[in-house]
Amino acid sequence: MSESFRGDGDPAFLRQAIRDLRRVLPNSELVEFDGLGHDAPWNDGKPERVATALTRFMLAHP
């Protein structure tokens, strides 16, 4: 199981890389954060958005 994160502000090549990665990782899930870039955990000093999504994923896939 894996989870991929990306922000809708990511450059095109990173958006494509995430799509490619999802094709080769079984049981993956993509979470897109509105208004964040590829450095989402640090955007505006609000890493809790990413931490919340990671926690939810890990609890759903023990």
pLDDT at residue 14 in the model: 82
Q: How far apart are CA 60 and CA 62, in angstroms?
A: 6
pLDDT at residue 7 in the model: 60
How many residues are there in the chain? 62
Q: Are 26 and 4 in contact (CB under 8 A)?
A: no
Tens-binned pLDDT, residue by residue, of the chain (62 aa): 445 555 666 778 887 888 888 889 877 888 877 777 777 666 666 688 888 888 998 898 87
Q: How far apart are CA 19 and CA 17, in angstroms?
A: 5
Q: Are 37 and 12 in contact (CB under 8 A)?
A: no
Q: How far apart are CA 47 and CA 42, in angstroms?
A: 6
